[in-house]
């Protein structure tokens, strides 16, 4: 864990100073109740009077979970986690039409073994921190949310999705010829049960908002323009519960799943590295990227 933290700090320094990330937290007396923190790719706005932060992902165009972005996300999350003035986080997107496109394929293509390992450890870290957050976490899913984007949403305590028929959500890894790791699977089983997960993962299904709602992958659908206000209203319902009791309860529910990854964290990294370095996988990622290029072109 220490190694991961060191890696992150090192990466952050490498990317140069980000003014918004300094001076964060709720420690300064007399600060205005609503403050913007983190002007990078994770825009954080903390409403100190409500004790609620909005984390808006802005890694344009599609909020790909690159190593740099995940690192910034983790630092922002940790700042809020350590800020006594922040009890809840609304996770949403600043990119149009997409919540997050999931793991950045560029991080898995033609890189070094060390890079793959560092990337995967950071993906694990994102899941560990978000799934176990002591804060109330609400996903305001205002766009499509495949693969890693769906994972982020599933890590939250509550999921609200915009009922736009163009959006979809799901763990679609098999459609790309890759496999969701066991802790993605565990998180989905905890959310929608074993059978729906089995079918979802084997077919790499992406669900429309009504389908996602029906199987319990999201908790609530709202018109797109109401998603932020609904998230705020739901948040106040969750904050009515004493933090301590809610946190112990959340930990009781999620700790066994977390412990499973912690017990196999290194082998999971090795699995990822040995899978992603396979010729066949690199080839299929290449084809996938060519296809994306043509679409854009």
Residues with a known catalytic role? 103, 148, 172-173
Torsion of Cα atoms, 155 then 160 then 165 then 171, to 10°: 10
Q: Quick one: which segment of 94-102, 122-130, 171-179, 287-295 binds its own copies (CB under 8 A)?
A: 171-179
C-beta closer to its own copies: residue 34 or 255: 255
- What is the rounded CA–CA span in Å between residue 146 and residue 152? 10
- What is the rounded CA–CA span in Å between residue 104 and residue 124? 14
User: What DSSP state is assigned to residue 29?
Assistant: T
C-beta closer to its own copies: residue 79 or 246: 246
Q: Quick one: which segment of 13-21, 39-47, 72-80, 174-182 binds its own copies (CB under 8 A)?
A: 174-182
* The Cα angle at residue 137 between residues 136 and 138, in degrees rounded to 5: 120
Q: Quick one: which segment of 51-59, 105-113, 124-132, 182-190 binds its own copies (CB under 8 A)?
A: 182-190
- What is the rounded CA–CA span in Å between residue 85 and residue 79? 11
Count of residues in contact with its own copies, rule CB under 8 A: 43
C-beta closer to its own copies: residue 118 or 186: 186
C-beta closer to its own copies: residue 19 or 242: 242
Compute the least distance from the CB of residue 289 to its own copies, in Å: 17
- Note whether 249 binds its own copies by CB under 8 A: yes
- What is the rounded CA–CA span in Å between residue 197 and residue 204? 10
- Note whether 250 binds its own copies by CB under 8 A: yes
C-beta closer to its own copies: residue 198 or 224: 198
First to last CA, the chain: 42
C-beta closer to its own copies: residue 35 or 250: 250
Compute the least distance from the CB of residue 251 to its own copies, in Å: 10
Which residues within the stretch 183-242 sit at the binding site for its own copies (CB under 8 A)? 185, 189-195, 197-199, 201-204, 216, 219, 237-238, 241-242
Q: Which of 246, 265, 272, 276 binds its own copies (CB under 8 A)?
A: 246
Q: Which of 78, 117, 182, 220 binds its own copies (CB under 8 A)?
A: 182
Q: Quick one: which segment of 57-65, 225-233, 245-253, 260-268 binds its own copies (CB under 8 A)?
A: 245-253
**Percent helix / strand / coil, the chain, rounded to 5:** 55, 15, 30
Please write down the HEC assignment for all residues of 159-218: EEEECCCCCCEECCHHHHCCCCCHHHHHHHHHHHCHHHHHHHHHHCCCECHHHHHHCCCC
Q: How far is CA 203 from CA 57, 79, 196, 211, 275, in A?
A: 28, 38, 11, 15, 20
Q: Which of 12, 180, 206, 222 binds its own copies (CB under 8 A)?
A: 180
- Note whether 273 binds its own copies by CB under 8 A: no
β-pairing verdict for 52-57 and 42-47: antiparallel
Structure tokens at 287: 């084809």
Interface residues with its own copies (CB under 8 A)?
Answer: 157-158, 173-180, 182, 185, 189-195, 197-199, 201-204, 216, 219, 237-238, 241-242, 244-246, 248-250, 252-254, 280, 284
């Amino acid at each position: 864990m220490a190694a991961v933290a060191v890696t992150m700090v090192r990466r952050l320094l490498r990317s140069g100073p980000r003014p918004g990330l300094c001076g964060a937290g709720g420690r300064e007396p007399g600060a205005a109740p609503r403050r913007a923190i983190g002007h990078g790719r994770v825009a954080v706005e903390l409403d100190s009077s409500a004790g609620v932060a909005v984390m808006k992902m802005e890694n344009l165009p599609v909020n790909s979970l690159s190593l740099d972005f995940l690192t910034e996300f983790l630092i922002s999350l940790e700042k809020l986690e350590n800020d006594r003035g922040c009890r809840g986080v609304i996770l949403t997107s600043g990119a149009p039409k997409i919540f997050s496109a999931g793991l950045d394929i560029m991080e898995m293509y033609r890189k070094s073994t060390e890079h793959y390992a560092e990337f995967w450890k950071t993906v694990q870290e994102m899941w560990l921190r978000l799934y176990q957050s002591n804060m109330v976490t609400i996903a305001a899913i205002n766009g499509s949310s495949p693969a890693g984007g769906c994972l982020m949403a599933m890590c939250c305590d509550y999921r609200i999705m915009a009922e736009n028929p163009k959006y979809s959500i799901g763990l679609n890894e098999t459609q790309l010829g890759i496999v969701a790791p066991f802790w993605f699977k565990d998180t989905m089983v905890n959310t929608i049960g074993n059978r729906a997960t089995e079918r979802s993962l084997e077919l790499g299904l992406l669900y429309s908002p009504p389908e996602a709602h029906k199987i319990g992958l999201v908790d609530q659908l709202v018109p797109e323009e109401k998603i932020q206000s609904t998230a705020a209203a739901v948040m106040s319902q969750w904050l009515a519960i004493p933090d301590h009791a809610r946190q112990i309860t959340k930990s009781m529910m999620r700790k066994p799943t977390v412990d499973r990854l912690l017990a196999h964290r290194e082998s999971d990294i090795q699995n990822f590295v040995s899978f992603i370095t396979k010729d066949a996988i690199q080839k299929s990622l290449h084809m996938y990227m060519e296809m994306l290029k043509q679409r854009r072109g």
